[in-house]
Structure 1
Amino acid sequence: MSGLLHLGPAPTRPDPALWRDLRDVPSSVLADVTRDVRAAGHPLAMVAPRAPFIGPAVTVEAGSLAQWRALESVQPGDVLVIASDGRRDCAEFGAVFAAIAQARGVAAIITDGLLRDRAEIAELSMPVLAAGSHPASPFDPSPGRVNLPVMLLGLTVRPGDLVAGDADGIVVIPVESLGKLADRLPAQKAKEAALQKAIADGQMPDALIAGLARIPVQPAP
């Protein structure tokens, strides 16, 4: 059975001190700080509303065996990223898998595929994002990959990359971009706060209005 798996090395997880404070930053703010941060939304959706999360990625691609093997290597705080390769004829996992992942301290599970046992998964405290649901058993005998780069909704996710998410979707933060993100984030947060205050005070900033006015408009027929 081991021949069905392509295993990469254990991910190098960045020091939590470098990213712990990002947990409460909305994905929309992180996505606007630098183009190094890549984002994905629809069709990803949380099974049930949960608090924002962030953690280093443990990546899985194809193969039911690969998903279970990945559970052997997770550490508390990891985010399981399961790429489906576009499969839509079965679920990628169900409630048993998700419950074990939660028990092992996984911060979240993300798949661009489908899941089953939605009602049971919705009762877990762990955030779970998927593209939809399907009742068929998550069986796939094809070769699987664990802790190797995967493609998820057009994003390359590498083992150890930071993945953050909330109700809007997810962002992928390359480890080598953490320094740039940390340097630029205060300015972005200040900009967002100033805009929100101006709106709350009933004073839409002139610069924003002028910028919106320059957006091309298609005349109505």
Structure 2
Amino acid sequence: MSDHIARLRALDTCAVSDALDRHGIRGVLVGLQPLAADRLIAGRAVTVLLGPPPEDAAGVPGRHLGTAAVDASGPGDVIVVAHQGRTDCAGWGGLLSRAAVARGIDGVIVDGAARDLAEAAAAGLAVHARMPTPVTARGRAVERSWGEAVEVDGIPVASGDLILADAGGVVIVPAALADQVLTTAESVAATETAMAEAIEAGIPVSDVMGKSYEELTDGEH
């Protein structure tokens, strides 16, 4: 496990979101929910771009969507499926979940619907998506590419960017800014831990959550 991933695992999405704010970076994916295997996801993005089947099937990969990315991934990787927010069909399913677990993949993020979520949960794979659906992608969506830069919820995501997902949501940290964002997030988390200890010690919350708390996300944008 890389140092960045180990540091990411020690944080939560709220601290990372605050750090992204401080650095003026949009990195929170809105509307995604944990739908299988209630546990934290942390790792490097491996991207998959989906789209409607073209009228001319020439050039469309002759394989099921997501399979190449899964086969090329392993521990410390998170599959990120750019499904354009579609909920009319699944951008991820049960056999892919089983294959991801077999490869040691840390989790899956789908900007759209996913299916076979009970199967994913039984296999131990954490999946965040917009909603569950039983509708297959066959005949409705195809893989356009994998491993290339995509856009998810209006936010650019490249393979190698850091992904953190927990009960609070999903955040993305650009790989080139990982050190700065993680250092800030660690500072935010330490400050909030000290504040929590002060509250537990009986200090009024109005004193604890004063000006210094409001300035936690201040920074030069």
Instruction: State the TM bucket, normalised to the shorter chain.
Output: 0.7 to 0.9
Q: What corresponds to 1:106 in structure 2? A: 105
C-alpha change, 1:193 and 1:207, in structure 2 (3 Å) is closer
CA–CA separation in structure 2 for the residues paired with 1:25 and 1:62: 30
Match status 1:133 vs 2:146: no
Q: What corresponds to 2:217 in structure 1? A: none
The correspondence for 1:31, drawn from 5, 14, 17, is: 17
Task: State the 4+ residue runs in structure 1 displaced beyond 6 angstroms.
Answer: 210-213
**How far does residue 192 in structure 1 lie from its aligned partner after superposition?**
0.6
CA–CA separation in structure 2 for the residues paired with 1:183 and 1:88: 36
Q: What corresponds to 1:54 in structure 2? A: 42
CA–CA separation in structure 2 for the residues paired with 1:170 and 1:141: 24
Between Structure 1 and Structure 2, which shows a larger proportion of strand residues? 2
Which blocks of at least 5 consecutive residues in structure 2 are unaligned? Answer: 52-62, 215-221
Which blocks of at least 5 consecutive residues in structure 1 are unaligned? Answer: 1-14, 214-221
**How far does residue 181 in structure 1 lie from its aligned partner after superposition?**
2.5
TM-score normalised by structure 1 residue count: 0.79
Q: What corresponds to 2:209 in structure 1? A: 208
Instruction: Supply the RMSD in Å over aligned alpha carbons.
Output: 2.5
Q: What corresponds to 1:69 in structure 2? A: 68
Matched-pair contact (CA < 8 Å) for 2:18–2:185: no
Q: What corresponds to 2:29 in structure 1? A: 40
Identity of aligned residues (%): 29
C-alpha change, 1:83 and 1:17, in structure 2 (3 Å) is same
Deviation by residue 1:36-93 (Cα, 9 ceiling, x = unmatched): 361124x211113522121111001115734122222213221000011232221112
TM-score normalised by structure 2 residue count: 0.79
Matched-pair contact (CA < 8 Å) for 2:34–2:128: yes
Q: What corresponds to 1:178 in structure 2? A: 178
